[in-house]
Amino acid sequence: MADLYQQIVLASRPTGAPVAENFRLESGQMPVPADGEVLVRARYLSLDPYMRGRMSTSKSYARPVEIGEPMEGETVAEVVESRHPDYRPGNLVQARSGWRTHAAISVEGLRRIDPALAPITTVLGVLGMPGFTAYSGMKVIGQPKPGETVVVAAASGPVGSLVGQLARLAGARVVGIAGGAEKCAYVRDVLAFDAVVDHRSEGLAEKLAKACPNGIDVYFENVGGPIWQAVLPLLNRFARVPVCGVIAHYNGAGGGERDQLPITMLEIVRRSLLVRGFINVEFVEEHYDAFLREIGPRVRSGDISYREDIVDGLEKAPEAFIGMLAGRNFGKALVRLS
């Protein structure tokens, strides 16, 4: 058994929400690193909403995973064998090694992890890609000012929770939108947002309007669908809308009652809205170092809170991923590999 590794491959493409049958767990002979490569053993796998896009062939900023290929994903991994002079067994790295227990990969793109700086899982969450997405979207596009109102949905997740905390640190009034009483309590009591609205309860539009008596100056878009419909009438003149994701639409539905495009375009003109989509990688070169410098110490000091939702075992990854797209995760979704 010791020389076997496991991986989860894309077995078929989903129509609508992914189901367990779209994935397949496989075992194989342990890969052997070539010259210049390392063999890594994954300790944690990150589950992220973008992976739903990789399961489809529709046009995107990244190529899809092919049927039979391992699912793509970022891991915290340990080098177990090295054929590169800069790496030794025992080194911890952040790798794009996919939904696999082991992988023989090139060292290009590996990032070293210093476990003395913060818990190692944070490189996949608050101090990694999701955290940087929140940071760069707010820094470059959102630009919250003291006294302004900032709204973010998926507020207990890795992106939304940091968006709101950054807005609070900038002196803005922060309103979160989250699903269910438990997540809402966390957003209000632990993340210290000024108000929170439960989108799974009745009357979202009225409740949001009540929570934003001065309108909305920054709406960080993570969800779309009915939440966008509730936000649009509340946006102030010159409001900024960093469009980070629309998770309500990733499974191909959930768009709400009517076509929102004409009314959205009309309001963009009428209220001089800045609506700017982005993929975090476009800001990496200019802002990643500042992100780590600014946010790292705040996470270490406890000034910035984060929450993780960890399941055990690679075989649990599909179920946890499907659950995340349906809102069943509570915090950054991770898989711990034994």
Residue ranges binding ligand NDP (CB under 6 A)? 48-50, 130, 133, 153-154, 156-160, 178-179, 183, 199, 222-223, 225, 227, 244-245, 247-248, 254, 278-280, 324, 327, 329, 333
C-beta of 14 vs 225, nearer to ligand NDP: 225
CB of 273 to ligand NDP, least distance (A): 18
Please state, as a whole number, how many other Cβ atoms lie within 10 Å of the Cβ of residue 312: 11
CB of 155 to ligand NDP, least distance (A): 6
Q: List, as own/partner pairs, every contact residues 286-289 make where C-beta atoms lie below 8 angstroms and the sequence separation is at least 24, other chains included.
A: 287/132, 287/135, 287/136, 287/139, 287/140, 288/132
Cα–Cα distance measured from residue 333 to residue 331, given in angstroms and rounded to the nearest whole number = 6
CB of 5 to ligand NDP, least distance (A): 27
Which stretches of the chain are DSSP H helices?
Answer: 50-54, 129-136, 158-169, 181-189, 204-211, 225-231, 261-270, 284-301, 317-325
Contact in structure between 95 and 109 (CB atoms under 8 Å): yes
C-beta of 24 vs 316, nearer to ligand NDP: 316
CB of 298 to ligand NDP, least distance (A): 18
C-beta of 101 vs 161, nearer to ligand NDP: 161
Nearest position to ligand NDP, beta carbon: 157
Cα–Cα distance measured from residue 143 to residue 145, given in angstroms and rounded to the nearest whole number = 7
Cα–Cα distance measured from residue 198 to residue 202, given in angstroms and rounded to the nearest whole number = 8
CB of 29 to ligand NDP, least distance (A): 34
C-beta of 79 vs 333, nearer to ligand NDP: 333
C-beta of 48 vs 148, nearer to ligand NDP: 48
